[in-house]
Chain A
Amino acid sequence: MRIDAQKLYYRDLNRLIRQAVRHGAEEIVLDNVNGQRYIGDGLSAQTRVIINGVPGNDLAAFMNGLTIEVNANCQDATGNTMNSGKIVVRGNAGDVVAHSMRGGRIFIKGDAGYRVGIHMKEYMDQKPIIVIGGSVGDFFGEYMAGGILVLLGLNQSEDGLKYGDYLGTGMHGGRIYIRADKLDQRRLGAEVRIFETDESDRAFLDGVLKEFAADMALDFKSIMSRGFLKLLPVSKSPYGNLYTHSL
């Protein structure tokens, strides 16, 4: 089904989406979306939602299962505390992508802003995965506790950098892969170290990037034409003794 979102206030648009999902819609196409917040928030279903236009803040917050494709840029706080499902952004995304995300996948073709993956976490086989085709701002993976970030840097920002400062600051779980031969040590947080990728890393990247390339109509081989480095936290609980000494 199609919904023309032009002139629809976010509450009215989201009411229509919830209704369609409740009635078992397999696919919903939203046209003329512009700035409506909270699309897909808290929904548990297998519906595919295609968004034409710029969705508002907190797209897919607490989302559980939907697949959302955005054929434009996203604003701030995309995938906030998302639990499962998938978001495909065929443009750029703003700041604070995937705050506290705990499952599912977010693929971004272009750049993402500051604090991507802040406080991401995982539990057993619930592992959130984010792939960014372009570059990111400062605080990539800040306080990250689990899950996987993949940064490709296919289109670098104007200053030629793929990532900002404070990379992995406070990170104490999960993995970050960056498509690069070397990383600027001064931009790394104190809690992470650089590692070479091994066979299991390459098998993982192979699988997820094939899917990414297909979603974005990019050439998988040219994505894989360069190697990756891996960032891992060196402590599991760096702040464990910050407030208490006896734990």
Chain B
Amino acid sequence: MQTYLDQPRLPSDDKRWKMVEATARRHGREPHALIETLHTVQETFGYLDESALRFVAGLLRVPLSRVYGAATFYHFFTLKPKGKHTCVVCTGTACYIKGAPALLTAIEERYGVRPGETTPDGELSVLTARCLGSCGLAPAVVLDSAVLGKIGPEAVLDRVGKGISQ
């Protein structure tokens, strides 16, 4: 029987936890709501930290190992906070053959970060996408939320530099 005691305590009084709770409740707090609930955490907090994983495990009454397993299995979820700016380089086939690797090399040489990493000052995260579906614009990069199409290594460094300094 479900009682008030079943409900895990919110990790903090941050209002966003209420949204996480609402998602779980909408699915009857059933174990199958795990991925949907993790989506809500990531959407509201930007990443999944340990307290979030523990909270979700309690909320859906599933082992923490299963929550951790799902959170690390799916590429979309990230356990680390992203930098202030994100630069997503598309590495879909069309972008790959039109020069995406050169963009990644240029960014790594300038900022010292590889895909999936964030600069030590937390300014820039570099990510790759399997395919943005903007193959007509290949190679494509998404800087924060702006799509930059048909872009070369110099232009991408220029735009990233400007984006960070803003």
State whether these chains interact.
no
